[in-house]
Structure 1
Amino acid sequence: MTSTATPARTLSTPTGPLVPRLLLGTRLRELRRQAGLSRPAAARAVGMTEATLGRLERGRTGCDPAGLAALAALYGVRDEAERVTLEALAEQTNIPGWWEEHLDVLPKWARRYVSAEQTAKLVRTFEPQLVPDLLQTPDYAREILRLRHPRATPAELERRVAVVMARQRVLRRRPRPVNLWIVLDESVLLRQVGGRLVIRDQLEHLLDLDARPNVTLQIATFEAGAATAMTGGSLTLVRFPQQILPDLVYLERFDGASYPSRPDEVERHWHVFNTLVTEAQQPEATPHIIRRLLRGL
């Protein structure tokens, strides 16, 4: 069998298990199909439930060494490089991300996205309500988190703020920071979160970030078209460095999130975002818009 797997030495991922799980699941699904086996038949043959094998192939869970060995034997994996790569991926599915020390202050529904964000090649976001987490100042983040978690102790609140700030390291990641493109509804800039001083500091921070070569910021003014109303809330698209992995769609709402994954759903959300880009003000207009708002504060 000819190996098409990624060499194991390129798969080091200190940022969590999501990408190794996706890569492992994608490759195991390809091997099963090459072996001419249906998912139910493969699951029965190795003593798994079809649901368990489905979660494995979708990157929702890792695989223990015994299960991996059984699948590799069933699929006729004889190539040594292929076997080593599968084993390396399986091992990495258990490497925790840095945020796993803070799971008590990170919503369960957001963990998959945070893991994706930390390994992303690019992130595209439309936000109609608030400044996105990756662009927030500590004071702005603190005000939002205080409203979302009114019963949080001061110490817990600061831990939540610290997690948001830690996530922003992807913007300064070396050697390749994430490529971030964000479209903000104009109302986001007008909303007085935390009062005049907090919003002034936040707007100045947006100016600084907009000057970064890996950050593009557009403003969808009130004259923009209907696309701003099509999302029903925030929309985030994530693309991974590994081209074989599908893009991730993340739709966050006040108390939960969804991850549409069918190819047609992913394509539709990319179409919505691209429409937003064309309807929003051009990126070069962003500094002028923000400075105009700052003069009014």
Structure 2
Amino acid sequence: MSGVQNGTGAVARRLQLGTQLRRLREASGVTREDAGYEIRASESKISRMELGRVGFKQRDVADLLTLYGVVQEAERSALLSLVGETNTPAWWQTYGEVVPPWFQTYLGLEEAAKEISSYEVQFIHGLLQTEDYARAVCLLGNPTAPAEEIDRRVAVRMRRQHILHAPTGPQVLAVMDEAALRRPCGGPEVMRRQLLRLIELAALPRLTLLVMPLGVGGLAAESGAFTVLGFGGSADLPDQVYLEQFTTAIYLDKPAEVAEYDSVLRRLRAGSLSPEATLGLLREALRDL
């Protein structure tokens, strides 16, 4: 269980435990259908458990371990001890009405990640937004929402940013298309404060901020926005690619898929301005407002 570390959060623990159960099931030659029958559940429930999409019950995990031939007390205890941690309430659960389940998974992964690498085309990345800019973005996506709902959506975005200053926070690479800097989201004054914020954040030691300038190839249109979440090569918690859509999200964790997006990130970095030139462009965009 060397890949399991303290403080990684309930979502990450569910993924770790699910991965362990899948490996044990496959090693024992048990099908998902048979595993589901053992715990009075469906094959799809076993699939969701192995993907870390649902919580775990102590009895279900104990029964599955027995089915998979895990009889050594030390191994059983190590896995069963994770069950309680997979169901620990997270801070965003108090915002459940504005945080859909598919995004709750992302929030857990974001908090657990050792590296967060993203490419944004339309907007500034959520981790780097000012409160006013975040409110303008939320209003664009939810124009008829009441003010209280918008406030809570913005509060979630602001709370996420704590990881930027946490002592054990992740390394962050944020690549943005220049169009995101030039789009006057919220108006000139909101954009002015947002650009000043980016200039301030660029000084953080764990943040690399790069801009892909306008007129550089067709890579932006080819890839679209995405985020790669890295977990330090843990065998129990594979790296993930997050692709957000309008009402849902796609999570990719197969090594070949993640490698493809890592390759795109390398090309994006090669085509972007250097950190120093990025600062120059931010100041230029500020002057142009």
Q: Distance in 2 between matches of 1:26 and 1:121?
A: 19
Give the gaps of 5 or more residues in structure 1.
none
Aligned to 1:252: 244
2:147 alignment partner in structure 1: 154
Asked whether the equivalents of residues 243 and 249 of structure 2 are also in contact (C-alpha less than 8 Å), the reply is yes
What's the TM-score, normalizing by structure 1?
0.90
Q: Helix, strand or coil: the match of 2:96?
A: helix
Alignment of 1:1-297 (within 5 A): 5-6=1-2, 10-13=5-8, 15=9, 17-174=10-167, 176-231=168-223, 233-241=224-232, 243-244=234-235, 245-297=237-289
Q: Distance in 2 between matches of 1:92 and 1:106?
A: 21
Offset, 1:37: 2.8
Identity %: 39
Secondary structure at the counterpart of residue 56 of structure 2: coil
Distance 1:260 1:212 in 2: 29
The structural deviation recorded for 1:62 is 2.4
Change (3 A) 1:100 1:287: same
Aligned residues of 1:170 and 1:177 also touching (Cα < 8 A): yes
1:48 to partner: Cα distance:
3.5
Question: Structure 1 pair 155/213, CA: closer, same or farther in 2 (3 Å)?
Answer: same
Instruction: State how far apart, in whole Å, the 2-side matches of 1:7 and 1:264 are.
Output: 21
On the 8 A contact 1:140/1:198 being kept in 2, the answer is yes
CA distance, structure 2, for counterparts of residue 190 and residue 154 of structure 1? 27
CA positional deviation for 1:187: 0.7
- Distance across 2 between alignment mates of 1:182 and 1:216: 6
Instruction: Provide Cα deviations, 1:162-181, integer angstroms capped at 9, x if missing partner.
Output: 1110010011112x112110
> How many corresponding residue pairs?
288
Shift of the 65–185 alpha-carbon distance from structure 1 to 2, 3 Å rule, reads same
Cα distance between partner residues in 1 of 2:176 and 2:229? 17
Paired residues of 2:242 and 2:250 also in contact (CA < 8 A): yes
1:67-97 deviations in whole A, cap 9, x for unaligned? Answer: 1111111222233331222112111111121
The one-letter amino acid of 1:62's match is G
Q: Which amino acid aligns with 1:11?
A: N
- Taking the aligned partners of 1:242 and 1:261, their CA distance within structure 2 comes to 12
TM-score, reference length from structure 2:
0.92
Let me know the Cα RMSD of the aligned residues.
2.0
| Distance in 1 of aligned mates of 2:210 and 2:197 | 15
78-87 vs 255-264, which deviates more? 255-264
Kept after mapping to 2: 8 A contact 1:23/1:89: no
Could you tell me how far 1:193 is from its partner in structure 2?
A: 1.3
Structure 2 unpaired stretches of 5+: none
CA 27–236 in structure 1, closer or farther in 2 if over 3 Å, else same: same
Work out the CA distance in 1 between the residues paired with 2:31 and 2:137: 48
Classify 1:227/1:45 alpha carbon distance in 2 versus 1 (closer, same or farther; 3 Å). Answer: same
The 1:255–1:62 alpha-carbon spacing in structure 2 relative to 1, beyond 3 Å, is closer
- Deviation of 1:65 after TM superposition, in Å, equals 1.4
Distance in 1, Cα, partners of 2:254 & 2:13 = 20
Q: How far off its partner does 1:34 sit?
A: 2.9
Q: Please state how far the C-alpha of 1:206 moved relative to its aligned partner.
A: 0.3
Aligned-partner residue type, residue 237 of structure 1: V
List per-residue Cα deviations over 1:196-251 (Å, max 9, x = no partner).
211111001001111101100111012322221112x3111111256112111111
Q: Secondary structure at the match of 1:224?
A: coil
1:156: how far off? 2.2
Task: Kindly indicate whether the alpha-carbon contact (under 8 Å) linking 1:142 and 1:158 is maintained by their aligned counterparts in 2.
Answer: yes
Contact 2:12–2:109 (CA<8 Å) still a contact in 1?
Answer: yes
1:11-36 per-position Cα deviation (integer Å, ceiling 9, x unaligned): 344x4x21111111111122223323
CA contact (8 A) 1:109 1:256 kept: yes
